[in-house]
Structure formats: C-alpha cells, structure tokens
Copies of this chain bind each other. A is one copy, B any other.
Amino acid sequence: MVEELVGNCLIGQSGGPTAVINASVAGVVAEALNHASIEEVYGALNGVLGLLNEDFVDLAAESQQAIRGLRFTPGAALGTCRTKLKKPQDFERVLEVFKAHNIRYYFHIGDADSQETAVKIGELAKAQAYELRIIGIPKTIENDLPATDHCPGYGSAIKYIGATVKELALDAEAMGQGDLVTLIEVMGRNTGWLAAGASLAKRRDHPNDPPHLVYLPEVPFTNEKFLDDIRRVLKREKHCLVVVGEGLVDKDGNYVSVETSSTDALGHAQIGGVGEFMKDLVESQLSVKARVARLGITQRAAAHFSSKTDADEAFLAGQAAVKAAVNGESDKLVTLVRGDGDNYTCETGLTPLTDVVGNLKKLPREWINEDGISLNFQFFRYATPLIQGEVVVPYDNGLPSYARLTRESVDKTLPAYEG
C-alpha cells in the first residue's frame, strides 16, 4: 500500500517551447485537482529560474477556461529558460525553496538534457531525507529522447513541416520552368527525426513525390554525392525539393555549417545556415537557381495546425505524471508506449530518469534507405499515426485565440537568492 504524501505540487517547463508543451501543464493541473493529497498547484515561472528565485504562480486560481485553453496554446505558458543549474548551492537553494512551500510533488516538463536537473534535485532531497516525488514529462520537437516511443511535440512539428513541404512543392512546381532547387531547412541539432518527418508529404506509393532528397544528421554528408543527387533529380523532374536537418555533419562528424561566432547559453555552438551553404553549392557548381526556406521557430510554434494525437498525448502524459507520483513513484520519466496491434494505440509508461539523461535517440539506420536520402516503410509506419487529427482552435476575428494565464503570484517567504 502506498504511503499518502500530503503537500503541494509544482510544475516547471524547460527548454524550447513546442506547440503542445502547455497541454502537458493542463494535464498535470486537471489531474492534480482530483487528488486530495495534493493541496496547492503551483507553477514555477521560467523554469529553473523560478525554482531559484521562488517565482511561483497559483495555477489552481486560474479559470478552467484558461487551463482548457492551454491544450491548444503554443509557447510555454509558465515561461521557460535555457539556464542549467550547475553549482551545488543552486540545488541547495531549490530544495530550500521547496521546503518553504511544502512542495512534495515536482513535475518537470523538458527534454533529455534538462531532466538532469530533476535527477539532481531528487538526489539532494534523498540525501536530506526530504520526502519529494519527482516525475519528468517528456517534451521536444526533436524526438530524440530515449526510452519513449516518441515525444510530445514531435507529431505537431512534423505535421506542420509535412504540410509546408507539400505547399512549397506546389509553389516550386508552379515555377518549374528550367531547373529550380528548393531547399527547406528544418531543426534537428543531432538527429534527423524532423527532416525525416518531411517525407510524410509524399503520397502513398508515390516515392518520387517531393521531398525528393532528405539529408539527415545520421548520414555523413559529402558535397560530391549531394551534387550528384541534385543532378539526378533535376534530370527526372522539373525541379528538386530538398529537406535538410540543421545538424548535418560530414564524415568526421563536424557540422557542415556552423556559425562559429556565437554560442548559446549552454555553450552549444549556434548551428544554422546549412540551407544557405547548399544554395551556394548548387548555384556555384551546377549553375542552377536555388532558394532556401528556413522554417526556424515557426515549426515549434505553429499551433494553428497541431496534431490532435500529439496534443492529446501531451495532456495524457501530464495526467500520468500526477497519477504515478500519487501512487508513490518518483525519479521517473513518463514515456509513451505504442501498442503492438495493427491499429495505432498509445498508453503511458515509466522509466528511471537516469536512463534518459545524456542519452540521445537517433533515427535507426535501418529505417533509412541505402541511398541515404529517403526513408523506408518502417519510418512511415512509425510516424504516420503521430500526425493524425487536427486540434480545433477557437478563433477571434479570423485569428487563433490562444489562452493567457493570469499568473497570480504566490507570496515569497525567503530572502532573495544571491547565487
């Protein structure tokens, strides 16, 4: 029998926003209110910064309408950040804040990298014998978390990418007098999940449909093969539509295109411009006109066109996190588990958070065809169910009407953190 743990719960969002990260917040809030052992339901503003600075808001004070609205609102309603806690005193401070507010349940929505924070908070709580249950909720459009079949955020991103590729292909076909190369750059620092998702734009049994060439970080890039690929497609079609993941690497594992001048807050090199790099290559080596569409942050924000499957699963993951914690689980990540049947089904599972941190799930090599620039049926079988259904968004005067939280502050009780 599970020991009842009575106290308050806290939700934090971390890393880049997605179209459905707020749906997970809605899932946590909706489920938390079902359990008497959870008293207050708080949100931490701007991820770990809110944990450090004791910046909490009272989510139970929000209207039901606002919480429901989170199911279709992009961004991160609680705010997020790219800061990563490193110093031991930072974690001491977080636990002090938790104790001050009797936080007994902490739900951390984030990618593999950011779940390390959850692991460390859990370890410190254990060392101090402070009873705390921590559950991670997966989130990333890049779909690179291990242990889960797929990640909330991915389905909506590739639904948008797939539709956009279809539309840009029609634009390119319309302009198709003489050779034209259209290069679409998508995100994906280390993996090709997003670039591969663009393949969903192909109709069933039309392998020659755009995108004609998909370049993945999993397949080392060479200029020579690239130019050969382009030549071959241009010979066959009126135009060539290319999709490329930003994290494309050469045979030595170096990014093909790095903006060397800048790094982000976590010290990652800012990559990008691989589309422009390819454009220069095509124009200089083949004397063919090329144009670049870099989808950028729109691909993680386009909630006017989210996958209902994805949004529902993000909500479900939030609910499952609360249920697990109330049932005595801790230091686990909620996973999405696909059923074995022919028809797609999905339920949630749990995996130790430590299995996830520092690990990365690449696109399986056996899902990529020999040619290195297309995906086989295994990828289509995997990805197609994830983009099914459309989230219905309410409109105000012709544009989506997204939810806003009132963010009623919780009183601070501690002196400001000096760091």
Interface pair A301/B171, CB less than 8 Å apart: yes
Q: Given A175-B81, A304-B163, A307-B398, A170–B73 Cβ distance below 8 Å?
A: yes
**Which B residues are in CB contact (< 8 Å) with A163?**
304, 399-400
**Which of B75, B164, B200 meets A171, CB within 8 Å?**
B75
User: In the complex, which residues of chain B have a beta carbon less than 8 angstroms from the beta carbon of A334?
Assistant: none
Whether B399 lies near A201 (C-beta < 8 A) is yes
Q: How does the 8 Å CB contact mask read for A163-190 relative to B, with 1 for contact and 0 for none?
A: 1101110110111110000000000000
Interface-side segment among A103-111, A128-136, A384-392: A384-392
On whether A200 and B398 interact (CB within 8 A), knowing A46-B177, A80-B175, the answer reads yes
A53-77 contacts to B (CB < 8 Å): 73-77
* Interface SS of chain A: mixed
Shortest Cβ distance from A393 into chain B, in angstroms? 9
- Interface flag for A409 (CB, 8 Å): no
In A145-179, which residues have CB < 8 Å from any B CB?
A: 159, 162-164, 166-168, 170-171, 173-177
* Chain A interface (Cβ < 8 Å from any Cβ of B): 13, 16-17, 46, 49, 73-77, 79-83, 159, 162-164, 166-168, 170-171, 173-177, 200-201, 203-204, 291-298, 300-305, 307, 384, 387-390, 395-400, 402
Which 7 pairs across A and B sit closest by C-beta, in order of nearness? A75-B170, A76-B174, A387-B398, A167-B301, A75-B174, A171-B301, A17-B174
12 other contacts beyond A74-B171, A167-B303, A293-B296, with CB at 8 A cut-off?
Answer: A46-B177, A75-B167, A75-B174, A79-B174, A81-B175, A163-B399, A166-B402, A167-B298, A167-B302, A168-B298, A171-B300, A387-B397
